[in-house]
Amino acid sequence: MKVEFCGHSCFLILDNGYSIIIDPFLTGNALASLKPEDVKVDAVILTHGHGDHVGDGITIAKNNDALVIAPYELAAYCEKNGTKAHAMHIGGAYNFPFGRIKLTPAWHGSAVMEGDIPIYTGNPCGVLLTMQGKTVYHAGDTGLFGDMKLIGERHEIDLALLPIGDNFTMGISDALYALKLISPKKVVPMHYNTFPVIEVDVNEFAAGAKDMGFECVVLNPGESTLV
Ligand code: NI
Ligand code: MN
């Protein structure tokens, strides 16, 4: 499995001839490594309704006739806006042709803004994606929570993608504690430095993870890691 960081919380995951994108916030992200029109995918996974996660998801899904996979209320919103959609919810798993997806809790909000008006899109989530026996955990936007321990106990996590930017999500200290709970084989930080309010020193996270005995890979947009 190849996991490419595309900026912010967006990852392109390639395995077994399939291509999946998570949280494709590309337009409006100066640090994004992809243009929405260049994205070729079989599925678009959306963790919650915020603009920096839905991003270009609806456009990309329509361009590719790809399935949007999201929590029920957000899936319904995407379907209403012209995409194919597969609704799921927290705790549920489903076997797709490309692999298995299970949604996990995330402590955050979820709404699409239409002008000044929030259209609420249910609960936010994280995602466990298993392809060819390897599991990636994309935590979505979340604060630290104790049930991450359950996620780590119930699943062998080959790669964890964790937000570290603080303000809207876990900051560095909490994200390091999350590593203890999840016990991933490898971690890639996300959701930092995109905006001034989430600027952090990623090297502090990387050094902390290393001190705890975890493999941390800091990816620049466009770079990838193999799982
Ligand atoms: Ni968010
Ligand atoms: Mn966000």
pLDDT digits (tens, 9 = 90+) for 190-223: 999 999 999 999 999 999 999 999 999 999 999 9
Element (H, E) at 135: strand 134-138
54 part of a folded domain: yes
Give the range of the structural domain holding residue 40, as residue numbers without chain letter: 2-219
69 part of a folded domain: yes
15 part of a folded domain: yes
In tens, the pLDDT along 12-27 reads: 999 999 999 999 999 9
144 part of a folded domain: yes
153 part of a folded domain: yes
Query: Ligand 2: distance of its center to the CA of 77 in Å?
Result: 18
227 part of a folded domain: no
Beta strands 99-105 and 125-131 are antiparallel
The count of domains in the chain is 1
Query: Ligand 1: distance of its center to the CA of 181 in Å?
Result: 22
Query: Ligand 2: distance of its center to the CA of 107 in Å?
Result: 12
pTM above threshold 0.85: yes
CA distance 185 to 150: 16
Per-residue pLDDT at 178? 98
Per-residue pLDDT at 2? 98
18 part of a folded domain: yes
Per-residue pLDDT at 101? 98
- From first to last of the 227 residues of the chain, give the pLDDT tens digit: 999 999 999 999 999 999 999 999 999 999 999 999 999 999 999 999 999 999 999 999 999 999 999 999 999 999 999 999 999 999 999 999 999 999 999 999 999 999 999 999 999 999 999 999 999 999 999 999 999 999 999 999 999 999 999 999 999 999 999 999 999 999 999 999 999 999 999 999 999 999 999 999 999 999 999 99
106 part of a folded domain: yes
Closest ligand (CA of 118): 1
- 107 contact partners, CB below 8 Å, separation of at least 6: 124, 142, 143, 145
Nearest C-alpha neighbor of 183 from the set 218, 151, 226: 151
Instruction: Residue 210: give its domain's CATH number.
Output: 3.60.15.10
Could you please report the per-residue DSSP string of 139-151? --S----TTHHHH
Query: Ligand 1: distance of its center to the CA of 34 in Å?
Result: 20
Query: Ligand 1: distance of its center to the CA of 9 in Å?
Result: 10
